[in-house]
């Protein structure tokens, strides 16, 4: 069996300086050091003995400007770096994560935002962001033998968009409307896809080549230019209406929309899932004075309108060396139709 050890050191500091009554400056500094040690064989008897060492310095700086008591502007720039997870490294060693071993990613995040807050409880917010990635770790769409989603690095990619949020009390605060939405563009520049080779469509024999003294799967590559990042919808939105006739009683109706998603990084419509809208209902009552203390009863009706939809899936493409033709394997995860749940919480 394989034995894995992880050691981590983390140092963090932050500072804030108020330039005047309207302008504040802030900065964060983080240093992380991670050591991974693997020894022995994995479940498939592959020897994955390896050592990985990472050091990250992640600074952040920004400023906020208070226009008045209700309106605020802010801007920031931050560097974020993260290491692959243990399973990502294991699969990369065995060749399951792409042509090369997976590497840590680096991101520079630029943000500009606005917040409005009124004494009557109304709050609004907007945030514009641009995340520039180097070696971003993204899902390939493939699964390993136990269902773990495999990852790969893409050298040049970005995520950009706008985040909107609103909260508005209605009817003497008995009703509250809350909503948020993210509109985004998530792209890989100059993406190269790698596909495992089989000899032909009749025999389905895996094709191997020798690399660094080992037999590894032979792959073919395809230059696809600019593509969509997998599992990254362009629009995600939520709206919620809460009615609270009594301090101890509430009713809530929530709707969520997620737009089309691609199951891999090739932007192939055949390997995608449609957008969906789903609604949930909940209600609750709290008995504050009982011999047992506070008792809260809650009822949840998920997928209120009994919608049939798919929220996730996987995809893989294999190519035949004989004639260059290919076949797609696609799996979907249908979600539960209308379902119910009750919760009892006792606090004392």
Q: Which tokens is 15 given?
A: 């500072």
Reduced to 3 states (helix: H, G, I; strand: E, B; else coil), residue 231 is coil
pLDDT at 100: 66
Phi, psi (deg, nearest 5) at residue 27: -150, 145
* Spatial contact of 149 and 88, defined as CB atoms under 8 Å apart: no
Cα separation of 22 and 30, whole Å? 27
CA 84, CA 38: separation in Å to the nearest integer? 14
Whether the CB-CB separation of 151 and 86 falls below 8 Å is answered with no
For residues 127 and 77, give the distance between their C-alpha atoms in angstroms, rounded to a whole number. 13
In degrees, to the nearest 5, what angle opens at C-alpha 145 toward C-alphas 142 and 148?
55
Ordered by where they begin, the domains of the chain are 1-59 (no CATH), 84-347 (2.40.170.20)
Confidence bin at 98 (pLDDT 50/70/90): very low
Comparing 39-48, 148-157, 158-167, 322-331, the range with the smallest average pLDDT is: 39-48
pLDDT tens-place string over residues 222-237? 999 999 999 999 999 9
pLDDT digits (tens, 9 = 90+) for 101-140: 899 999 999 999 999 999 999 999 999 999 999 999 999 9
Tokens of 285: 């009552």
Q: What is the DSSP letter of 89?
A: H
81, 59 Cβ separation under 8 angstroms = no
Q: For residue range 151-196, what is the model confidence (pLDDT) as tens digits?
A: 999 999 999 999 999 999 998 889 999 999 999 999 999 999 999 9
């Amino acid at each position: 069996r394989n034995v894995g050890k992880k050691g981590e050191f983390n140092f963090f500091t932050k500072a804030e300086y108020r330039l005047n009554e309207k302008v504040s400056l802030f900065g964060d500094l983080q240093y992380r050091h991670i050591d991974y040690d693997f020894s022995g064989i994995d479940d498939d008897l592959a020897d994955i003995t390896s050592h990985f060492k990472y050091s990250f310095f992640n600074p952040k700086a920004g400023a906020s400007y208070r226009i008045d008591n209700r309106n605020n502007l802010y801007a920031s720039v931050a560097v974020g770096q993260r290491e692959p997870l243990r399973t990502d490294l294991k699969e990369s060693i065995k060749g399951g994560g792409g042509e090369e071993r997976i590497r840590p990613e680096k991101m520079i995040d630029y943000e500009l935002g606005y917040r409005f807050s009124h004494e009557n409880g109304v709050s609004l917010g907007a945030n514009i962001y641009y995340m520039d990635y180097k070696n971003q770790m993204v899902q390939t769409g493939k699964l390993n033998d136990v269902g773990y989603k495999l990852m790969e690095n893409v050298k040049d990619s970005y995520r950009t968009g706008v985040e909107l949020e609103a909260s508005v009390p209605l009817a003497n605060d008995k009703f509250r409307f809350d909503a948020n939405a993210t509109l985004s563009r998530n792209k890989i520049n100059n993406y190269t896809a790698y596909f495992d080779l089989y000899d032909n469509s009749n025999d389905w024999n895996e094709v191997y080549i020798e690399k660094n003294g080992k037999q590894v799967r032979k792959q073919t590559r395809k230059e696809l230019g600019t593509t969509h990042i997998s599992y990254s919808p362009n629009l995600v939105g939520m709206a919620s209406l809460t009615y609270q006739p009594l301090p101890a009683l509430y009713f809530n109706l929530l709707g969520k929309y997620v737009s089309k998603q691609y199951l891999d990084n090739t932007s192939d419509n055949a390997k995608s899932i449609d957008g969906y809208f789903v609604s949930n209902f909940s209600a609750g009552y709290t008995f504050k004075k009982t011999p047992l203390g506070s008792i809260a009863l809650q009822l949840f009706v998920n997928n209120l309108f009994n919608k049939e939809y798919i929220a996730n899936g996987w995809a893989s493409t294999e190519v035949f060396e004989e004639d260059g033709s290919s076949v797609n394997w696609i799996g979907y995860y249908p979600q539960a139709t209308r379902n119910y749940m009750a919760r009892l919480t006792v606090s004392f």
